[in-house]
Amino acid sequence: MKNIFKYSALALAFLTATLGAAQKYEHKFQDPELSNAERAEDLISKLTLEEKVGQLMYGAPAIERLNIPQYNWWNECLHGVARNGRATVFPQAIGLGATFDTGLILRIGQAISMEARAKYNASVANNQRERYQGLTFWTPNVNIFRDPRWGRGQETYGEDPYLTSRIGVSFVKGLQGDHPKYLQAAGMAKHYAVHNGPERLRHEFDAVTSMKDLWETYLPAFEALVTEAHVEGVMGAYNRTNGFPCCAHPYLMQEVLRKKWGFKGYFVSDCWAIVDFYEGHKVVDTPAEAAAMALNAGTNLNCGSTYPELVNAVKQGLTTEAEIDKNLRELLPTRFKLGLFDPPGLVPFDTIGVSWIRKAEHVALSLEAAEKSLVLLKNVNNTLPIAPGVKSIFVTGPTAAHVQALLANYYGVSEDLKTILEGVVANASPHTSVKYRQGALLDEPNRNPQDWFSGVAAESDVTIACLGISQLMEGEEGESILSNHFGDREDIGLPQNQIDFLKKIRANAKKLVVVLTGGSAIACPEVYEMADALIFAWYPGEQGGLAVSNAIFGKSVPSGKLPVTFPMSVDDLPPYEDYAMANRTYRYMKKPPLFPFGFGLSYTTFSYGSLSLSKPSIGASESITATTTVTNTGKYAGEEVVQLYVTDLVASVEVPRYTLKGFQRVALEPGESKIVTFEVTPKMLEIVNEDGESILESGEFQISVGGSVPSNRSRSLGAPAYQQANLMVK
């Protein structure tokens, strides 16, 4: 009898709990105790065909009968929460790449995630659920910046797959958080997979690439974000790749992404890319065919206007409701991971309030990132830093007070955007005379030909000429209103009017400091020759002007490194439409560059001790360590980015001249030395054959360590001597 009562009590407790759950949640998909797959399955079972199709749209409508509010999937946070008002504006992505600082990027991702939740919570509290107010962020852009003419290259982390992978993984981990159940925000790897312009042709262009280039250059960063960072989303590109639209590519989307890499998140089309199937690529004739083609290939979400045609596509037999259900099973779990169906207060991020938006620590982080992104390209006779108490400073040039040169594209806005002019004024001593005249227009000769500026340079102790380009001149297809090439650049030099302006300044200036802004490589040999000191500032974010000024006055020491190669001229580049990697980027380019990848000077100097390998030869399953000693041989405390490169000296196929395989930021006081060690694994020594397979071959490899890519050009520009050692693989 005792056991009967015991089991009856258990049954009663179970029944009570079950009834309680049933009373608490009207539908199973609302129950946070169930798995995301179970919840998604229950929700799908309750939807009509039309409702299912609606949930496959980026602007998913409310389903009032199920108490499901509308949700807009489209949001951006390339370098801060974008297009939704007040937020901390960090340096543009290309500048973040120049930091070579994965820990910094992780912190930036975390800060953006806090602001994202704060803005989302505030929006929902005010019943606002429109575009740019959700938690699914279509960031980062991990395309490889293969050609400096591409206007959207500024959105990437540079030209190197390894650097892009490390920066991208850190950003996604920071953005998505590490909660065991919930995503703080959802990241995305875009644009999958081979996407680098031309912007004006992207809706019809077929990017043809070899399997070797595909796996050696274009895919590694996507693989890292999927397999290491577990990025929640992947976005397909506008273009075709080797004949197939990227948003309906059986090999890339299913064989590689889902099967080989085990991707478990959702796949979205770039915005209105499915329209391109019939208007641009002309691979189908009708919207219904385009919608079915994308859905059947695994595009779970349509950013655009085509998926309502899925209702007709089902009726026409082009796809099935079962296929729609399959796509919803891949799409809906993201909303559950974000806690969007859970009761208010249950998700731990529900308490993040608006005080986190532009929190003081975030603003300071933006400044730190901008300072670490600055690349010092020249500093003759210790022109920099200048003394804060200098008698007179002349600030001039078209970007000195140009806010767009801070913001880049996909930007948020702030009430505290510090231009370079404002930064200089903030740091100059009260008795210093600071004069400002713009002097030149951004991209055309002055309409008034009178020289009202060069005389001021003659009267000033230091002239700071702020030149370069901005988002007005390079960017996405429709946004760069000064571009004649839909956001791309036909020439990669400075506008000629800026060169002519600088010549007049140079003829009069006592000391000439040039600050260049831009999101891509600028071929500027004339500027390099004329400047006493040259800083490349990228698009440095809301605190960018203060960061530049801090470097000029010595409050910070430049430590950024170039994430892209700067060619001597556009004539050194292959045709823009050619997607072969031959003669592109530091890995394949044979012509000497203006500035090499990984290059960047400091106010101090560094030296490298000899490179020591723990073993001179290894087997196919062995790893070794490579060790050097880095010493600060100058007078300033500074940070050096120690870079490790690998070259296969006896490969059976053509291989990169050098390949970045490791980097570490090292902070050193004057006279201080630190031992820096890298692990060299067999994976790092693999090459990619013509079939796109990664293989390890026996033979001799060269291991190089230094402060720039190992080249004669690096040495001639003042980079510290790199160290090398050879390794045999048996």
Structure tokens at 494: 């400075």
Is residue 590 within 8 Å of 654, Cβ to Cβ?
Answer: no
Q: How far is CA 720 from the centre of its chain?
A: 28
Give the closest residue to 95 by CA, choosing from 384, 469, 371: 371
CB half-sphere exposure, 470, CA atoms < 13 A? 23
Is residue 573 within 8 Å of 489, Cβ to Cβ?
Answer: no
Structure tokens at 426: 């903030």
For this structure, is 622 an active site residue? no
CB half-sphere exposure, 148, CA atoms < 13 A? 28
Q: Output the DSSP codes for 606-655.
A: EEEPPPEES-SEE-TT--EEEEEEEEE-SSS-EEEEEEEEEEETT-SS--
Residues in Cβ contact with 131 at an 8 Å cutoff, skipping those fewer than 6 apart? 59, 72, 74, 75, 83
| Nearest-angstrom CA–CA distance, 165 and 219 | 10
**440 three-class SS:** coil
Distances (CA, A) of 644 to 24, 106, 375, 598, 625: 58, 22, 19, 11, 12
Residues 263-266: contacts with CB under 8 Å, at least 24 apart: 263/226, 263/234, 264/230, 264/330, 264/333, 265/186, 265/230, 265/231, 265/232, 265/233, 265/234, 265/330, 265/334, 266/232, 266/233, 266/234, 266/300, 266/301, 266/330, 266/331, 266/333, 266/334
Question: Catalytic residue among 368, 474, 488, 532, which?
Answer: 474
| Nearest-angstrom CA–CA distance, 288 and 290 | 5
Q: Which amino acid is at 730?
A: K
Is residue 145 within 8 Å of 564, Cβ to Cβ?
Answer: yes
The residues with which 206 forms a beta bridge, in sequence order, are: 240
Q: What is the DSSP letter of 103?
A: H
Is residue 517 within 8 Å of 470, Cβ to Cβ?
Answer: yes
Which H or E run includes 404?
Answer: helix 404-407
Question: Catalytic residue among 115, 155, 270, 640, which?
Answer: 270
**377 three-class SS:** strand
| Nearest-angstrom CA–CA distance, 277 and 535 | 44
Torsion of CA 312, 313, 314, 319, to 10 degrees: -170
| Nearest-angstrom CA–CA distance, 376 and 514 | 10
Structure tokens at 191: 């644009």
For this structure, is 451 an active site residue? no
Q: Is the dihedral of CA 489, 492, 493, 494 positive or negative?
A: positive
Give the closest residue to 160 by CA, choosing from 659, 548, 505, 569: 659
* Helix segments in 201-242, DSSP class H: 211-213, 220-227
Residue carrying the six token digits 């090999």:
251
Is residue 401 within 8 Å of 421, Cβ to Cβ?
Answer: yes
Q: Which residues are catalytic?
A: 270, 474
